Structure 1
Amino acid sequence: MPALKPVTTRSALLTLLLGAELPSLTTRELVAAASVVGFAEPAVRVALSRMAAAGDVVRDDEGRHRLSDRLLERQRRQDRATRPAVHDWDGSWEIVAVTTAGRTAADRADLRTTLGELRLAELREGVWTRPANLAIDWPAAVEEVSDRFTGAAATDARELAGRLWDLGDWARTARELLAATDTTDPVLRFTACATSGRHLLTDPVLPAELLPRDWPGEELRASHVAYKQWVNDMRRSLVDAG
């Protein structure tokens, strides 16, 4: 079983907002949903005030809270993690070669983060790759400092994928998270779901030909989506009943 870190009130509220089917939620809706997963109303109200002051959420005149522009991109990333835009794989690989020198350490770190979020892996310093089975919207931050190519692996593609990603470790953690969600404890289930959302962001979403047998990626995605729907249904029912 993975070591599930306790979810803070801020993280719980962000999880609720990130997973909501609406662009904004009222304080009442957030208090109701958070109470089911172990967070008291005073703590929720204090956290919302601090999140607004920190620029995590924006509160309108009607008392509704929405994610700040900075966090809307995180929401889009999580949506893509549960619904990756895949297509049939023809055996080719995306290759990104960083060509711009003289960048700062911070710029290099930002680029590494961006390429990782696009589900590429570093083959060697400055060269990133992945199977060309994903529809990727290449950001300007990548286009401006690199050249992109497609090519075929001269070595065994499964062996290359195994070197680029620790598939066994990812699968073990995914199965442990699936087991952790199989509980009647709403707090533990919520914590496991929040952790699952972060884990899905690191799924390389490889073609089936390159994955180990019984890969749990789709099962974890389905479990995560089903739980998000349950949370949204629960939130609506509590507000309607109140």
Structure 2
Amino acid sequence: MSDSATKELEALIDDFHSQERIRVWSLVITIFGDAVIPRGGELWLGSLQALMDRLRIEPSALRAAMSRLTADGWLTRLRLGRKSFYRLAEAGEAEFAEAALKIYAPRRSEWSGEWTIIVLSGRAGEERETRRRELRADGFGALGPTVFLRPDNIGNTCMPDTLPGEMIFHSRLDSKSDATKLISQTWQLSEVEKHYSKLIATFSPLERTLGKGVDLDPLSAMAARSLLIHHFRRMALRDPVFPAELTPKNWQGDEARKLVSTIYRRLAAPSECWLDGCLNSSGHPIAAPGFDIAKRFGI
């Protein structure tokens, strides 16, 4: 392990802890979705705590997060003696499988020209604002107070549930319409780009260090991988995944995805080595993934 790589990881952990509010439960979901599901879906709490220790997260904070996730139906727990093993519940696995299409799939995809359009019901006040936030989190843009839309392509296969009173349909723009102008009016792309730019600035030092052939020990590599995907996941799930013809020039999302893919490939082998040492409830090493983790992004 190199001191330079360790220094970069410590800087990433410092940045993570500088947030106004750390959502440990969300980080746990990232770790299970990214690293545990491909290996059978089950992890001993002791292994998870070792990873959290490397990320400087207190045991009490992890216990609170695990209790919340279990109570909310995200995780299921199996207790054997004094050991607790956890796995994502069925609903959680299904949701992350859909999210994975936006997180790991190649950025570009063919587009039919269709748009998915949702018209909200007559709800007012906080209910409407909550619904608007949910749709933005699913990559929809607001054309008006009650009209939301997004391009209907392979990167947007996850459809939100339609609430009572809402309408959902698909349509095409007239050939004379300016789709790029529609994009600029409907999505706050400057805000999205700001977050992508922050990710690039935050993780580029680690990419440069790893690019020199410098390695991290297995646990540190797993910690860096978890932070990388946790940061990127939040942005990727809010990205409308525009097809090439609708994407602004020099889009920072493309640069961010390329950077994340490069770092992920370099962390794959040592982080998987750490996972090889984790045990399941049968006392055996957790299963090996059924695909090459290093090729996950397909870029």
TM range (shorter): 0.7 to 0.9
Report matched runs for 1:144-159 at 5 Å: 145-153=166-174, 154-159=176-181
Moved more, 50-59 or 200-209: 50-59
1:131 to 135, 145, 151: 151
The offset of 1:163, in angstroms, is 1.5
TM-score normalised by length of structure 1: 0.74
Q: Does 1:76 align with 2:76?
A: no
Q: Does 1:30 align with 2:48?
A: yes
Q: 1:131 to 1:139 in 2, by over 3 A?
A: closer
Q: Are 1:95 and 1:130, in contact at CA under 8 Å, matched by a contact in 2?
A: yes
Residue equivalent to 1:19: 34
SS of residue matched to 1:15: helix
Report matched runs for 1:82-97 at 5 Å: 82-83=103-104, 87-90=109-112, 92-97=113-118
Q: Does 1:59 align with 2:77?
A: yes
Q: 1:229 to 1:221 in 2, by over 3 A?
A: farther
Q: Distance in 1 between matches of 2:225 and 2:130?
A: 33
Moved more, 122-131 or 53-62: 53-62
Q: Does 1:98 align with 2:113?
A: no
Q: Are 1:25 and 1:66, in contact at CA under 8 Å, matched by a contact in 2?
A: yes
The offset of 1:198, in angstroms, is 0.6
Q: Distance in 1 between matches of 2:111 and 2:72?
A: 43
Residue equivalent to 2:256: 220
The offset of 1:181, in angstroms, is 1.7
Question: Unpaired segments of 5 or more residues in structure 1?
Answer: none
Residue equivalent to 1:208: 244
Q: Are 1:95 and 1:151, in contact at CA under 8 Å, matched by a contact in 2?
A: no
Moved more, 127-136 or 116-125: 127-136
The offset of 1:141, in angstroms, is 1.7
The offset of 1:190, in angstroms, is 5.1
Report matched runs for 1:152-191 at 5 Å: 152-153=173-174, 154-183=176-205, 191=227
Question: Unpaired segments of 5 or more residues in structure 2?
Answer: 1-14, 207-215, 280-284, 286-299
The offset of 1:204, in angstroms, is 1.6
Residue equivalent to 1:141: 162
Q: Distance in 1 between matches of 2:51 and 2:23?
A: 14
The offset of 1:104, in angstroms, is 6.1
The offset of 1:80, in angstroms, is 2.7
Q: Are 2:75 and 2:87, in contact at CA under 8 Å, matched by a contact in 1?
A: yes
- Structure 1 residue identity aligned to 2:135: L
- Structure 1 residue identity aligned to 2:167: S
SS of residue matched to 1:213: coil
Name the Cα RMSD after superposition.
3.8
Moved more, 30-39 or 196-205: 30-39
Q: 1:151 to 1:175 in 2, by over 3 A?
A: same
